[in-house]
Amino acid sequence: MTTLEPEYQNLIEAGKQDLKGDAVGAALEEIALKALEFLREKCKRVKLFSKVPGKDYFAFTPKDGKGELSRPVNKALFDARVTKKQLQTIFGKGIVKVDQDLLARLLYSLAISYCAATDLTKKDDKKTPGTFFEVLVGHLVSRAFGTNPQKEIKIPTLDIENKLPTDYVFDLGQGKNRIHLPVKISTRERIVQVWAHQRILDAMHGVNRFTGILICLTETNKQKDSSVIEVCLPGQWAAYQMYIGQLRRVYYLDVPEKYKPLVESYPFIQVKSFASFFREIDRLTKASPLA
Amino acid sequence: MTTLEPEYQNLIEAGKQDLKGDAVGAALEEIALKALEFLREKCKRVKLFSKVPGKDYFAFTPKDGKGELSRPVNKALFDARVTKKQLQTIFGKGIVKVDQDLLARLLYSLAISYCAATDLTKKDDKKTPGTFFEVLVGHLVSRAFGTNPQKEIKIPTLDIENKLPTDYVFDLGQGKNRIHLPVKISTRERIVQVWAHQRILDAMHGVNRFTGILICLTETNKQKDSSVIEVCLPGQWAAYQMYIGQLRRVYYLDVPEKYKPLVESYPFIQVKSFASFFREIDRLTKASPLA
């Protein structure tokens, strides 16, 4: 029985020590290559009926299994033959030079590798794929920013000591904006939390003190009949962006079709491929987003 | 095998027709009396180790079962011998005259009856207890307000048609405040949604246009060792109340110990027993809460 447990523990430990450190990149490389090998060698692909226009999805199933299916995998974005050398371009400084389409495939293949393999090797494990994805994104973003994040903020009040657990927050130092960077495998109805936390930061510290950047893997959902849909709530997102707080960017590794038009009409939520993040860091971290 | 399925379907159907109508009261009475009879006749009590100071909890287990346990039941608030006549005082106009301690016990016994019975008759059913509790509270509140609620609001914008699904919202007519009334079995970390929806209503329609009233059953949690704790996040609630929106009241059927002190220090969140709601409706529905 294949298990990725030792590699996963190794990754978590490295992330706790120094999220932006080389050891995390090495651990991500190790776990992804092992997961991809498992998917390549021990599994086969099952085509899923995609209800998402323009996108094909398949699932993995163990060759010797009882027909269990992994989560949906985007055919165009997945490459089971990602090499060690390719992964090293992601973890090095050259990431900004990698072709955008290739980078999108490398990032997606890396992220989905552990998740799909875990679907088949560890029954009902929803927690470790989420944590894996958070460490993966946290590592890449920390390297890009050159600093590690925190995961709670103090709430300054006149006479009360209080603190709030948050997603990642980055202090980039003098002359730069701070970053509020939640990371989610998928969003569903809970996502209002992200806007609510942005609102708390804005209300506590002033609007435009923290730049909100949400990073998600996908919104795919495998239905009981094995068809694939994307669960999207564009109308609710618009209401959150208008009335709760303003996220500056929402990046996906597999951008949902129904969120693509959000950028074109008010309130103009900027939904993009995560691959494009690395080329616009200077713009996102400027002291004033209105400059 | 006892099942409450027909009574449950009957209740849901009646609620859809007219939430404040007599048929809903009759259906609630029927389902509660049957659930209580099941708990009284077919089950026995197992004492749980309560880690909540000043509160005793037990669980029900079927006399002929394999030791399955229901959710925790508050010993002081539960009365398995609630009578039809007593329940009829709740559903009639006399509810405001019922002694507060007795009313608290009647409301709690009614609410927990179906939930505890369902824990033992329908494995892993988390949905119907939530819906049952929503209909129970919705019925009592609709009768008290004299009008039925809606469950979505239109989002008025310059050029976009949009709507947002919400918990109950009540329009009490000219000269009275509108009411935003979420109902939850328990809150946990998702509860930020309630403050976020209050914020959207305030931002869309103006502060103090909708009075926010949250109604919850309990925050008890049965641990793996069968001890009982209350899961409370008072610091986070304070941050939500300070920076996202202001709820006017939070009512519980089993008020958590850690939320009781919230009323005593800034931001003075008003957490109370649901029994007291019926006596302060005039104050809560006045056109201006600041008057």
CA atoms of A225 and A228, how far apart (whole Å): 9
pLDDT for residue B189: 78
Residue B65: both structure tokens together: 């079962």
- In the three-class reduction of DSSP (H, G, I as helix; E, B as strand; rest coil), residue B87 is classed as helix
For A94-128, how does the pLDDT look when each residue is reduced to its tens digit (9 = 90+)?
A: 899 999 999 999 999 999 999 999 999 998 888 99
pLDDT for residue B183: 97
Q: How far is CA B289 from CA B135, B153, B277, B282, in A?
A: 27, 22, 16, 11
Mean pLDDT, chain B, integer: 94
Residue B161: pLDDT above 80? no
In chain A, alpha helices (H): 5-17, 22-41, 84-91, 100-121, 127-145, 192-205, 234-243, 281-285
Contact A94, A83 (CB under 8 A): no
Q: Which residue has the tokens 């894996």?
A: A132
Contact A170, A149 (CB under 8 A): yes
> How far is Cα of residue A200 from the mean position of the Cα atoms in its chain?
22
User: Residue A217: which of A139, A274, A278 has the closest Cα?
Assistant: A274
Radius of gyration of chain A (CA): 19
> How far is Cα of residue A175 from the mean position of the Cα atoms in its chain?
27
The pLDDT > 70 percentage for chain B reads: 100
Query: With DSSP H G I counted as helix, E B as strand and the rest as coil, what are the percentages for chain A, rounded to 5?
Result: 45, 20, 30
Residue B154: both structure tokens together: 């239109």
Query: Do A192 and B193 make contact, defined as CB atoms within 8 angstroms?
Result: yes
How much is the average pLDDT of A65-83? 94
Query: Do B203 and A243 make contact, defined as CB atoms within 8 angstroms?
Result: yes
Mean pLDDT, chain A, integer: 94
- In the three-class reduction of DSSP (H, G, I as helix; E, B as strand; rest coil), residue B181 is classed as strand
Contact A284, A211 (CB under 8 A): yes
Q: What is the dihedral of CA A200, A205, A209, A215, to 10 degrees?
A: -20
Residue B243: both structure tokens together: 């920076």
For A78-97, how does the pLDDT look when each residue is reduced to its tens digit (9 = 90+)?
A: 999 999 999 999 998 889 99
Q: What is the largest CA-CA distance in chain B?
A: 63
- In the three-class reduction of DSSP (H, G, I as helix; E, B as strand; rest coil), residue B227 is classed as strand
CA atoms of B195 and B193, how far apart (whole Å): 6
Looking at chain B, which runs of residues are DSSP E strands? 43-47, 49-50, 57-62, 73-74, 150-156, 161-170, 178-181, 183-184, 210-216, 220-222, 227-230, 249-252, 271-273
The residue among A124, A191, A243, A247 with the most chain B CBs within 10 A of its CB, best to mutate, is A243
Contact B195, A164 (CB under 8 A): no
Query: Do B163 and A235 make contact, defined as CB atoms within 8 angstroms?
Result: yes
In A146-272, alpha helices (H): 192-205, 234-243
pTM above 0.95, yes or no: no
How much is the average pLDDT of B81-92? 92
Cβ-based interface (< 8 Å): residues of B facing A: 155, 157, 159-160, 162-165, 189-190, 192-193, 195-197, 199-200, 203-204, 235-236, 238-240, 242-244, 265-266
Query: N- to C-terminal Cα distance for chain A?
Result: 56
Contact B166, B194 (CB under 8 A): no
The residue among B124, B152, B161, B162 with the most chain A CBs within 10 A of its CB, best to mutate, is B162
Residue B217: both structure tokens together: 């059953």
Query: Do A199 and B159 make contact, defined as CB atoms within 8 angstroms?
Result: no
For A170-194, how does the pLDDT look when each residue is reduced to its tens digit (9 = 90+)?
A: 999 988 889 999 999 999 878 999 9
Residue B243: pLDDT above 80? yes
Angstroms from B155 CA to nearest CA on chain A: 8
CA atoms of B265 and B121, how far apart (whole Å): 43
B199 burial (CB, 10 Å; 0-12 / 13-18 / 19+) is buried
Q: What is the largest CA-CA distance in chain A?
A: 63
Q: Which residues contact B184 (CB under 8 A, 6 or more apart)?
A: B130, B191, B194, B214, B215, B216, B217
User: Residue B60: which of B7, B2, B121 has the closest Cα?
Assistant: B121
pLDDT for residue B229: 97
Residue A27: pLDDT above 70? yes
CA atoms of A96 and A99, how far apart (whole Å): 8
A274 φψ region: left (φ > 0), alpha (ψ -120 to 50), beta (else):
alpha
Angstroms from A235 CA to nearest CA on chain B: 6
User: Residue A238: which of A227, A229, A250, A226 has the closest Cα?
Assistant: A250
Cis peptide before A62 (omega within 30 of 0): no
CA atoms of B28 and B291, how far apart (whole Å): 37
**CB nearest A162 (choices: B192, B200, B239):** B239
Please report residues of B whose CB lies closer than 8 A to that of A190.
190, 193
Residue A160: both structure tokens together: 């009360």
Confidence band of A287 (pLDDT split at 50, 70, 90): confident
Query: Do B164 and A236 make contact, defined as CB atoms within 8 angstroms?
Result: yes
Residue B72: both structure tokens together: 């925790």
Please report residues of A whose CB lies closer than 8 A to that of B157.
242, 266
For A9-22, how does the pLDDT look when each residue is reduced to its tens digit (9 = 90+)?
A: 999 999 999 999 99
Q: Contacts for A18-25 with beta carbons within 8 Å, 24 or more apart?
A: A18/A148, A19/A135, A19/A138, A19/A139, A19/A142, A19/A148, A19/A149, A20/A139, A20/A142, A20/A143, A20/A146, A20/A147, A20/A148, A22/A91, A24/A135, A24/A139, A25/A91, A25/A139, A25/A143
pLDDT for residue A1: 67
What is the interface size between A and B, counted as CB pairs within 8 Å? 80
Q: Which residues contact B227 (CB under 8 A, 6 or more apart)?
A: B48, B49, B50, B51
**CB nearest A190 (choices: B190, B195, B236):** B190
Amino acid at B266: Y
Confidence band of B162 (pLDDT split at 50, 70, 90): confident
Query: Three-state secondary structure along A84-133?
Result: HHHHHHHHCHHHHHCCHHHHHHHHHHHHHHHHHHHHHHCCCCCHHHHHHH
Residue A65: both structure tokens together: 């299994």
Of A138-147, A155-164, A270-279, the one with minimum mean pLDDT is A155-164
Q: Which residue has the higher pLDDT, A155 or A255?
A: A255
pLDDT for residue B1: 67
For A141-155, how does the pLDDT look when each residue is reduced to its tens digit (9 = 90+)?
A: 999 999 999 998 887
Please say whether the dihedral angle defined by the alpha carbons of residues A268, A216, B235 and B201, taken in this order, is positive or negative: positive
Residue A160: pLDDT above 80? no
Say which DSSP state A287 is in.
Answer: S
Beta strands A220-222 and B150-156: pairing type?
unpaired
Say which DSSP state B191 is in.
Answer: G
Q: Which residue has the tokens 């090797």?
A: A121
Residue B157: pLDDT above 80? no
The pLDDT > 90 percentage for chain A reads: 84
Contact A32, A113 (CB under 8 A): yes
Confidence band of A246 (pLDDT split at 50, 70, 90): very high
A278 φψ region: left (φ > 0), alpha (ψ -120 to 50), beta (else):
alpha
The residue among B160, B190, B204 with the most chain A CBs within 10 A of its CB, best to mutate, is B160
